[in-house]
Amino acid sequence: KTIGTMNEFTLLSRIVEHPDQYPIQKTMLTELLSDHESLIAELRKDIDISTDENHDAGTADLLTGIIQQHETIAWILRRYLG
């Protein structure tokens, strides 16, 4: 089934939102780093499913590129927070 509403996207999201919270900059960036790291871990699982179960190398390659982008952003955030 294809999802099409914002509510459906929110329910299926792997990232937890924190409405009505307004953290200081360092806390916000730490949470952002954690979210990127969570996405990287989830995408690695998706790559395993794509290759092992679905035999879909194209999707695995696409996800690898997305992981690289998240890893770059995570690295930048670590440097900034360090």
Tens-place pLDDT, residues 14-71: 888 888 999 999 999 999 999 999 999 999 999 999 999 999 999 999 999 999 999 9
Report pLDDT for 30.
97
Residue 13 lies in a domain: no
Enter the DSSP assignment of 5.
S
The answer to whether position 71 is within a domain reads yes
Residue 17 lies in a domain: no
**Total Cβ atoms within 10 A of residue 54:** 10
Residue 75: per-residue pLDDT: 99
Question: In this model, does residue 6 exceed pLDDT 80?
Answer: yes
In a domain, 1, yes or no: no
Six token digits for residue 9: 């996207």
Range of the domain at 65: 22-81
User: Bigger pLDDT: 75 or 54?
Assistant: 75
5 part of a folded domain? no
Place of tokens 């179960």: 53
* Residue 59 covered by a domain: yes
The whole-number pLDDT of residue 2 equals 81
Phi and psi at 4, nearest 5°, equal: -145, 0
Task: Give domain status of residue 28, yes or no.
Answer: yes
**pTM given for the model:** 0.84
Q: Is residue 72 part of a domain?
A: yes
